[in-house]
Amino acid sequence: SPGTMSGSGSEEPQPSQAAEDGQQEAEQDWAAAKAFYDNLVTKRPRPPKPQNAITVAVSSRALFDLVEERRIYEEHGVEKYVEYQQKNENVTLKPGPAFYFVKALEHVNARLLELYPDDEERFDIVLMTNNHAQVGVRLINSINHYGLTIERFCMTGGESPIGYLTAYLTNLYLSADSEKVQEAIEAGIASATMFTANKDVVYSDTQLRVAFDGDAVIFSDESEQIVKEQGLDRFFEHEQQNENKPLAQGPLKGFLEDLGKLQKKFYAKNERLDCPIRTYLVTARSAASSGARVLKTLRSWGLEIDEALFLAGAPKGPILVKIRPHIFFDDQMFHIKGAQKLGTIAAHVPYGIAQKYRKST
């Protein structure tokens, strides 16, 4: 399922003959690659085709703790950095902010493969890094040390990864570099900048927990524009007047949809009570004055969210401590910092009007 932000209801342009020919050639390439792999004897599941997979691209600084290595790079330059990485290629890297999220995705994959051994609709983790190839051995050694299944690597040697993200039909891109994330968002790819939690927290290893803010994350920033330009009272009035008009979609609507699709696969096998995916909406909206439109919008999209928490402006950090999500997406750095302080791994989505007031850092 392609990871662009265009909605399922949008008009699809008619493909040209050249595009159709290209598609056919790509299908033939995949058929040839599949035939080759099928002849190899292996117990490892083959990575799924990007068309079928939910592709999550993660940067090396999101997956691993590379703070010290980054310091060497910034203070001494790329040559010393590469030399340091090669000298330490047998020293395992410590987990970074996206590490436990990736582990949880892999647990979901393991459960899906038990229930649907021949189905390719599952997560495919791609390591998308602008590192030079010489650093690859240390990354591979660390991935193998933790038993992660990351077969696809893009090491772009300082070049922008956006073209590769598009080629892999990326559904979600997580990076520690806010400029690259901004570029990806502008290219229509669901994307967020990862921030490490300030406290160590124990995360569930049997259930993937993903928490989303609402406006400018799952939904568009229409409501935030009204709050900023006309104030809170006008916003409440507007939301009640438009209660039955669905909100426009935001950058992470597609990823919430992907999670919902996988949840339904577990429900179909009577696994609802033991589903390894749980989704949360954690919004500063108040339920009575602006909650109905949100819930009706989700219903109009055919999406179920497991828990909806309307905080009416209260801080999100204490609620997130209870949820312990593997990742929490928000468009406001104020909420990201509050969540971080209390031990939540937060991901900043640089989208919408809030970015005009506070540039992503």
What is the tens place of the pLDDT at every residue in 227-252? Answer: 778 877 778 888 888 889 999 999 99
171 and 291 both lie in a single domain? no
Residues contacting residue 196 through CB under 8 Å, at least 6 positions apart: 65, 96, 97, 340, 345
Q: For residue 37, what pLDDT is reported?
A: 61
Higher pLDDT, 195 or 22: 195
The gap from C-alpha 303 to its chain's centroid, in whole angstroms, comes to: 18
41 within a domain of the structure (yes/no) = no
Mean pLDDT of 337-354: 89
317 and 224 both lie in a single domain? yes
Q: How confident is the model at residue 34 (pLDDT cuts 50, 70, 90)?
A: low
348 and 213 both lie in a single domain? yes
Q: For residue 1, what pLDDT is reported?
A: 47
220 and 351 both lie in a single domain? yes
Percent of the chain past pLDDT 70, that is, above it, reads 90
153 within a domain of the structure (yes/no) = yes
pLDDT tens column, 313-325: 899 999 999 999 9
245 within a domain of the structure (yes/no) = yes
Task: Give the CATH number for residue 278.
Answer: 3.40.50.1000
Q: What backbone torsions phi and psi does residue 242 show, to the nearest 5 degrees? A: -105, 25
Q: What backbone torsions phi and psi does residue 191 show, to the nearest 5 degrees? A: -155, 155
Mean pLDDT of 82-110: 96
244 in Cβ contact with 271 (< 8 Å): no
The gap from C-alpha 258 to its chain's centroid, in whole angstroms, comes to: 11
148 and 282 both lie in a single domain? no
222 and 270 both lie in a single domain? yes
Domain extent, residue 88, equals 50-194
Phi-psi domain of 188 (left: phi exceeds 0; alpha: psi -120 through 50; beta: other) = left
Q: How confident is the model at residue 131 (pLDDT cuts 50, 70, 90)?
A: confident
Q: For residue 361, what pLDDT is reported?
A: 35
Q: How confident is the model at residue 31 (pLDDT cuts 50, 70, 90)?
A: confident
Q: How confident is the model at residue 41 (pLDDT cuts 50, 70, 90)?
A: low
235 and 350 both lie in a single domain? yes
1 within a domain of the structure (yes/no) = no
184 and 215 both lie in a single domain? no
75 and 177 both lie in a single domain? yes
Mean pLDDT of 93-107: 97
144 and 267 both lie in a single domain? no
221 and 352 both lie in a single domain? yes
What tokens appear for 346 in the block? 């937060």
When divided into structural domains, the chain yields a total of: 2
Q: For residue 28, what pLDDT is reported?
A: 78
Q: For residue 354, what pLDDT is reported?
A: 67
244 and 346 both lie in a single domain? yes
Residues contacting residue 315 through CB under 8 Å, at least 6 positions apart: 335, 338
10 pLDDT more than 50: no
12 within a domain of the structure (yes/no) = no
Q: For residue 29, what pLDDT is reported?
A: 79
Strand order from edge to edge, sheet including 172-175: 152-155, 123-129, 54-58, 172-175, 191-195, 346-348, 327-330, 208-212, 277-283, 307-310
**Residue at which a domain ends, from 169, 194, 219:** 194
- How much is the mean pLDDT over the chain? 88
Distance CA 207, CA 105 (A): 9
Query: Which residues belong to the active site?
Result: 213
37 within a domain of the structure (yes/no) = no
Distance CA 178, CA 223 (A): 24
